[in-house]
């Protein structure tokens, strides 16, 4: 009997490893992996199955007690009201924990839920929010001059309201306006109605933006002394790692929930995964603009390590 050539076996293991890395590490779907590797989805499925059999991929069931303990420790360290730590940062897992926080809030009819924009929020909306009838759903800001799907905030509001069986209210204005347009909008009844709802928000669901990686940063000008210390934003309200506000030119023309309005929201959920978000999450928590966090175990552990590290003076 003629055995399989050694080179073929090495090639197959290499393909298994490539498929496993794309699917499990980079979190691409099997369809996306098949396009990247230029093979069929059936081949990708077989490669992933063989990768598990060969021990290239090891699947471990998360210990819920460990993740809960990690969340409790992070909650105390950041001074938040709630922290949910997930083994996986996949959309379904994120959405499940956001939904759990919403259900625990026991929102009454007429409660106001503000929804932000960004990839994390888009993932949560795509996976679905729980049924909470008769809530009022609003955007956290006006629209962005961006074509990417994760910037379409009014669409997130529409979908979120549909999923929860609530009432959607839209803001037909850009997030950045001229002084002249701001004067006109301040007299528009529909805009005024939505702006009044911003002062009554019961829950906010938002991404936590990494300043260095944000595609919208080209429109923001910071003073030289501030540009180096800004780490991120919540709804375009920028901060440093200590949570201190970082002002920028034109901020007075921002159509969005303000820092003070966010600080008074009873349940303000920040969603963030990825190691680049570690200093950003710390700053957001210290700013008071979020009081609840949904993240993954890797990020949670890195935040705790950074907080425990000796500070260099």
The mean per-residue pLDDT over the stretch 16-32 comes to 84
What was the pLDDT predicted at 230? 92
Instruction: Give pTM, 2 decimals.
Output: 0.76
Quick check: 301 pLDDT over 60? Answer: yes
Quick check: 64 pLDDT over 70? Answer: no
Decide: 192 and 181 in contact? Cβ < 8 Å.
no
93-144 confidence digits (pLDDT tens): 888 899 999 999 999 999 999 999 999 999 999 989 999 999 999 999 998 8
What was the pLDDT predicted at 9? 54
Decide: 255 and 173 in contact? Cβ < 8 Å.
yes
What was the pLDDT predicted at 257? 96
Domain-by-domain residue ranges, the chain? 6-53, 64-308
Quick check: 3 pLDDT over 50? Answer: no
Domain made up of 6-53: CATH architecture: Orthogonal Bundle (1.10)
DSSP string, 205-263: EEE-EEGGG-TTGGG----HHHHTTEEEEETTEEEETT--B---TTGGGB-B--HHHHH
DSSP string, 81-114: SEEEEES---HHHHHHHHHHHHHHTTPPTT-EEE
Tell me the CATH number of domain 64-308, given options 3.30.70.260, 3.60.70.12, 3.40.50.720, 3.40.50.1360. Answer: 3.40.50.1360
């Amino acid at each position: 009997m003629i055995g399989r050539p050694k080179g073929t076996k090495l090639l197959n293991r290499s393909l298994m490893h490539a498929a496993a890395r794309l699917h499990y590490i980079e979190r691409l779907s099997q369809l996306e992996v098949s396009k990247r590797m230029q093979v069929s989805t059936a081949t990708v499925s077989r490669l992933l199955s063989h990768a598990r059999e060969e021990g290239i991929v090891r699947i471990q069931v998360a210990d819920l007690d460990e993740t809960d303990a990690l969340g409790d420790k992070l909650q105390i360290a950041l001074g938040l009201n709630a922290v949910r730590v997930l083994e996986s940062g996949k959309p379904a897992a994120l959405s499940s924990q956001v939904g759990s926080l919403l259900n625990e809030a026991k929102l009454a009819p007429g409660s106001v839920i503000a929804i932000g924009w960004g990839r994390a929020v888009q993932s949560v909306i795509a996976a679905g929010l729980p049924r909470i009838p008769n809530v009022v759903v609003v955007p956290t800001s006006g629209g962005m001059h961006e074509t990417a799907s994760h910037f379409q905030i009014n669409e997130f509001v529409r979908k979120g309201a549909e999923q929860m069986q609530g009432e959607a209210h839209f803001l037909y204005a850009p997030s950045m306006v001229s002084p002249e347009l701001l004067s006109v909008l301040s007299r528009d009844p529909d805009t005024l109605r939505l702006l009044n709802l911003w002062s009554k928000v019961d829950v906010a669901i938002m991404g936590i933006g990494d300043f260095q990686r944000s595609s919208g940063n080209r429109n923001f000008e910071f003073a030289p002394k501030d540009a180096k210390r800004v780490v991120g934003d919540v709804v375009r309200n920028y901060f440093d790692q200590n949570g201190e506000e970082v002002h920028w030119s034109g901020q007075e023309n921002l159509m969005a929930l303000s820092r003070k309005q966010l600080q008074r929201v009873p349940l303000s959920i920040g969603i963030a995964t990825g190691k680049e978000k570690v200093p950003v999450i710390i700053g957001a928590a210290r700013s008071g603009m979020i009081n609840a966090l949904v993240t993954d175990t890797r990020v949670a552990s890195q935040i705790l390590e950074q907080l425990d590290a000796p500070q260099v003076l």
